[in-house]
Amino acid sequence: MFKKLFSISILFFSFGLNQTLLSQSTNENGLTYTTVDQVTSKGATINFMDLPNLPEAKIISLHPQVVNDPVKLLKLQLDAQRAKKTSSKMSNKKSGPLPPIVSRNYTGNVTQGTPNDNDMAVGNNGMLVSVVNQNMNVYNDTGRIVAGKTLASLGSALGPLNRTYDPRAIYDPEQDRFIVVFLQGSTSLDTRIIVAFSETNDPSKTWNLYAIPGNFTGDSSWSDYPIVSLSKDELFITVNRLKDNTSWQEGFIESYIWQVDKMRGYAGDSLVQKVYQNIKYNQKSVWSICPVKGGSRLYGPFSYFLSQRPSDLSNDTLFIHSISNTIKSGKASLEMKIVKAPIAYGLQPNAIMPNGKKLQTNDARVLSAMYENGVIYYVGNTIDRNLFSPAVYFGRVHEAWTAKPRLESTIISSDTLDFGYPSIAYVGTGENGDHRSMITFSHVSPIHFPGTSVVYVDRSFNVSAPVFVKQGEGNVRVLNDSVERWGDYTGIQRKYNELGVAWLNGSWGNANGQNRTWIGRVSANEPSLGLVKNDAAFNQKLYPNPAEEQVSFEFESTHKQLLTVSILDIKTGQITNVSVEPAKSGKNKLVMDVSKLSNGLYIIILSNEEGRVSSHKFVVQH
């Protein structure tokens, strides 16, 4: 337990806030921190549809380019080592569960900045919020855009906003509302955390707006890189505090945790908050804390958070932070445990595009995490040391509430693709022992343009082969630099009222050299989740079988619909030749080119917007 060292009361008046420094605490694990209680008055209530429409998109860089920061120099060294290294192939990789099914998908919000920081949230009514640097779009359940506005116009009632970035969106399944968080300003004089709470389940209607100062210490620092989560009662926001006139790589000071009474935000009342700052382990600041979201439902009153040593070339330390209770309880305190991972994470080289230029992979921080059935699942960037390539770190913390949590981990990688910026969502039933989830991430390679992929994780934590949700159409060419920005995060969320279904958003390079957003609906390909349809219902026929150059697939559809067609390689588990085809009511025929497929056994898969699927095995024999 914590020992209170001292308690001081100090009253500040800034941005309409009352702040009280409560205490500094420490424990035997080397954790020290201070807390600040504060209240933020509502700034305004706005109607989204009344705001000006989006202007024509323009590409700008939202972060200063840094030449000599230590992280960038380390990554340049890794890039040089990778160029000289002969990677180990992974031909003996065991096959996993069936990959997820990609159904409805479409072009998302158009970023006006680089990197393509993009996130999304989807309600039980199908309404979807897509946010990127500077913009916010609302879509209905068919994928049609309802309205698009700039973040500056969304928060304009709070005063002039001239530098908005790093947006996050989250859906509250218990209150059936949305929350959007974004940042304004990258100097100590104008750093603000803008928080918007929807008043209803329709994000195109009214929102309550709040402006929380990103610098309440009065020094030369500003807030960067927010991550959000929800508990039953509260909203949590984590940010990194940086020095003025520096980038995130070289200017890091510390990380904050904001604990916010969400119900007051929905009601438009003043926001009651507790801020955890000066969080240190053995007098060293903990960098980039990731809040842990709920899985099948929201959890609480406790909340978990994770952090690592993200700029290390190799490290196995995971910090498990927890806030013990709600603000209302008067018993909220911060605790921390340290566990060692069986597989080390580490700083990764940059990713390589077909034009030979690179995409920035940042560091090895925890990017996304969730809690379900007593397990914390988390993902982040890392290096695959066998392949010496950018990969995804997938960790699981069992029994985090005990004195000695157990940690297991997996590296998700490919000998032909570079991976980066993962996020994770739960798609299982919520029953004990059901750990089914999906992980989305960006992909690229010397022969694949930047795009978005997804994998499925079964109840035993086995990982499927990746599926291309969106294949890129060109290299990213925005900066006059050998290393382009890729996108600092992606988003994925469980569709709470559809079992086995998640919605995701990621990035892809278009033919004009721009980094764009893609939105997709994905579902688990498992009979136990009720998602597989009887093949006979399609009255299907496939010929010739074996096939050499092309294969014809005839089937019947009960109505006009769009079908996602994909081919699964049974041997490798890879999904290829993904396309979306219109189907008419009655008989249909698809002709697919298989001349470039290797000899072997394959499955052709048809899936519709409900995630239902028909499949047929066939052999390729040249």
Pairing mode, strands 358-359 and 483-484: parallel
55 close to 234: Cβ distance less than 8 angstroms: no
Q: Residue 79: what pLDDT? A: 79
Q: Residue 536: what pLDDT? A: 43
Please provide the CATH number assigned to the domain covering 533-620.
2.60.40.2550
Higher pLDDT, 15 or 249: 249
pLDDT in tens, 452-463: 999 999 988 999
pLDDT in tens, 249-299: 778 899 999 999 999 999 999 999 999 999 999 888 898 999 999 999 999
Average pLDDT, the chain: 86
pLDDT over threshold 70, residue 443: yes
pLDDT over threshold 50, residue 14: no
Q: What average pLDDT does range 356-382 have in this prediction?
A: 95
Question: Which range in 17-21, 172-176, 241-245, 515-519 is most confidently predicted, on average pLDDT?
Answer: 172-176
Among 102-111, 399-408, 532-541, the least confident range:
532-541
Distance separating alpha carbons of residues 232 and 325, to the nearest angstrom: 11
pLDDT over threshold 90, residue 570: no
pLDDT over threshold 50, residue 361: yes
| Range list for CATH 2.60.40.2550 in the chain | 533-620
Q: Residue 15: what pLDDT? A: 40
Q: What average pLDDT does range 123-144 have in this prediction?
A: 92
Beta bridge partners of 138: 129, 147
Q: What average pLDDT does range 242-252 have in this prediction?
A: 81
Q: What average pLDDT does range 387-394 have in this prediction?
A: 96
pLDDT in tens, 532-550: 444 444 678 899 999 999 9
441 close to 456: Cβ distance less than 8 angstroms: no
DSSP conformation letters of 236-289? EEEEEEEETT--TTT-EEEEEEEEEEHHHHHHTPPEEEEEEEEEEETTEEPP--
Q: Residue 538: what pLDDT? A: 61
| Range list for CATH 2.120.10.10 in the chain | 104-528
Quickly state the pLDDT bin for 22 (edges 50, 70, 90): low
Distance separating alpha carbons of residues 487 and 478, to the nearest angstrom: 12
DSSP conformation letters of 490-533? -EEEE-TTSTTEEEEEEEEE-TTS-EEEEEEEEE---GGGT-PP
Please name the residue ranges forming H helices in 350-411. Answer: none
Q: Residue 294: what pLDDT? A: 96
384 close to 345: Cβ distance less than 8 angstroms: no
Quote the percentage of the chain above a pLDDT of 70: 87
Q: What average pLDDT does range 340-365 have in this prediction?
A: 95
SS3 77: helix
- The letter for the amino acid at 163 is R
Q: Which CATH number fits domain 104-528: 2.30.110.10, 3.40.190.10, 3.40.50.2300, 2.120.10.10?
A: 2.120.10.10
Quickly state the pLDDT bin for 7 (edges 50, 70, 90): very low
pLDDT over threshold 50, residue 564: yes
Q: What average pLDDT does range 400-409 have in this prediction?
A: 93
pLDDT over threshold 80, residue 573: no
Q: What average pLDDT does range 298-313 have in this prediction?
A: 94
Phi then psi dihedrals of residue 531, to 5 deg? -110, -5
Q: Residue 322: what pLDDT? A: 95
